[in-house]
A and B are shown apart, each in its own frame.
Chain A
Amino acid sequence: MGNVPTTVKHCLSYEQLIEDYPWLRRWLQEDKEIVPTGVKIQLIDMLSGTGLSVIEATSFVSSKWVPQMADHTDVLRGIQKASNVQYPVLTPNLQGFQDAVAAGATEVAVFGSASETFSKKNINCSVDESMLRFEEVINAAKKRQIPVRGYVSCALGCPHEGHIEPSKVAEVAKRLYEMGCYEISLGDTIGIGTPGSMLKMLQRVMKDVPINALAVHCHDTYGQALPNILTALQMGVSVVDSAVAGLGGCPYARGSSGNVSTEDVLYMLHGMGIETGVNIAKVIEAGSFICSALSRKTNSKVAQARSTACCDESL
Chain B
Amino acid sequence: MATVMKLVHRSALTSLMGQHCLSFSSAAAHRAAGIRAGQALPGKVKIVEVGPRDGLQNEKTLVPTEAKIKLINMLSESGLSVIEATSFVSPKWVPQMADQVEVMKGISRKPGVTYQVLTPNLQGFQAAVKAGAPEVAIFGAASELFSKKNINCSVDESLQRFDEVMKAAKEAGVPVRGYVSCVVGCPYEGKVAPEKVAHVAKRLYSMGCYEISLGDTIGVGTPGSMAQMLEAVTKEVPVSALAVHCHDTYGQALANILVALQMGISVVDSSVAGLGGCPYAQGASGNVSTEDVVYMLHGLGIETGVDLSKLMDAGAFICRTLNRKTSSKVAQAACKL
Q: Which A residues have a C-beta under 8 Å from some C-beta of B?
A: 1-3, 6-7, 10, 13-14, 17, 40, 43-44, 47, 52-58, 86, 88, 147, 182, 185, 191, 193-199, 202, 211-212, 215, 217, 220-224, 226-227, 229-244, 247-248, 250, 253-257, 259, 261-262, 264-278, 300-302, 304-305, 308-314
B5's contact among A197, A220, A262, by CB below 8 Å, is which?
A262
Among the 9-residue stretches B99-107, B171-179, B289-297, the one with 4 or more Cβ atoms under 8 Å from chain A is B289-297
How many Å lie between the Cα of A129 and that of B93 in the bound state? 67
Mask for B254-273, Cβ within 8 A of A = 1, else 0?
Answer: 11011100000000000000
Chain B residues near A312 (CB, 8 Å)? 190
A238 to B7, CA, bound (A): 5
Q: Given the complex of chains A and B, what is the CA–CA distance between A241 and B2 in angstroms? A: 7
Q: Cβ of A223 and Cβ of B3 under 8 Å apart?
A: no
Name A's interface SS.
mixed
Chain B residues closer than 8 Å to A247, beta-carbon distance: 1
CB neighbours of B296 from chain A (8 A)? 194-195, 223-224, 227
Per-residue interface assignment for chain B, residues 24 to 49, with 1 indicating a CB less than 8 Å from any chain A CB and 0 otherwise: 11100110111111100000000000
Q: A314 near B17 (CB under 8 angstroms)?
A: no
**Size class of the B contact interface (CB-based, 8 Å):** 35 or more
Residues of A close to B16: CB separation below 8 A:
147, 182
Q: Does B323 sit at the interface, judged by CB under 8 A? A: no
A239 engages B1 (CB within 8 Å): no
CB distance from A288 to the nearest CB of B (A): 15
Is B20 part of the contact surface with A, judged by Cβ < 8 Å?
yes
Q: Using A242-B5, A314-B191 as known contacts, say yes or no to A302 and B250 having CB atoms under 8 A apart.
A: yes
Partner of B284, one of A40, A54, A198, A301: A301
Contacts A272-B24, A301-B251 known; 14 new A-B pairs at CB < 8 A: A10-B335, A17-B337, A224-B295, A226-B255, A230-B32, A238-B22, A239-B5, A254-B336, A269-B5, A270-B222, A271-B252, A277-B20, A310-B281, A313-B185
Q: Does B188 contact A (CB under 8 A)?
A: yes
Query: Interface code B174-195, partner A: CB below 8 Å = 1, 0 otherwise?
Result: 0000000000010110110000
Distance in Å: Cβ of B4 to nearest Cβ of chain A: 4
A-chain residues with CB within 8 Å of residue B225 when the two chains form the complex? 271
Binding site for A on B (CB under 8 A): 1-9, 11-12, 15-17, 19-26, 29-30, 32-38, 185, 187-188, 190-191, 218-225, 248-252, 254-255, 257-259, 278, 280-285, 289, 292, 295-296, 298-301, 308-309, 328-330, 332-337
Closest 6 CB pairs of A and B: A271-B222, A194-B299, A223-B329, A301-B251, A273-B25, A273-B29
Give the chain A neighbours of B29 by CB distance below 8 A. 271-273
Contact B185 A256 (CB under 8 A): no
| Cβ-Cβ contact count across A and B, 8 Å cutoff | 281
* Cα distance A314–B297 in the bound complex, in angstroms: 30
Measured CB to CB, the nearest residue on chain A to B28 is: A273
- CB closest chain-A residue, reference B336: A253
In the complex, which residues of chain A have a beta carbon less than 8 angstroms from the beta carbon of B283? Answer: 304, 308
Contact across chains for A272 and B33 when beta carbons are under 8 A apart? yes
Q: Across the interface, which residues of B come within 8 angstroms of A215, CB to CB?
A: 4
Shortest Cβ distance from B211 into chain A, in angstroms? 24
Residue of B nearest to A220 (CB): B329
Given A223-B330, A267-B252, A271-B222, is A239 in contact with B32 using a C-beta cutoff of 8 Å?
no
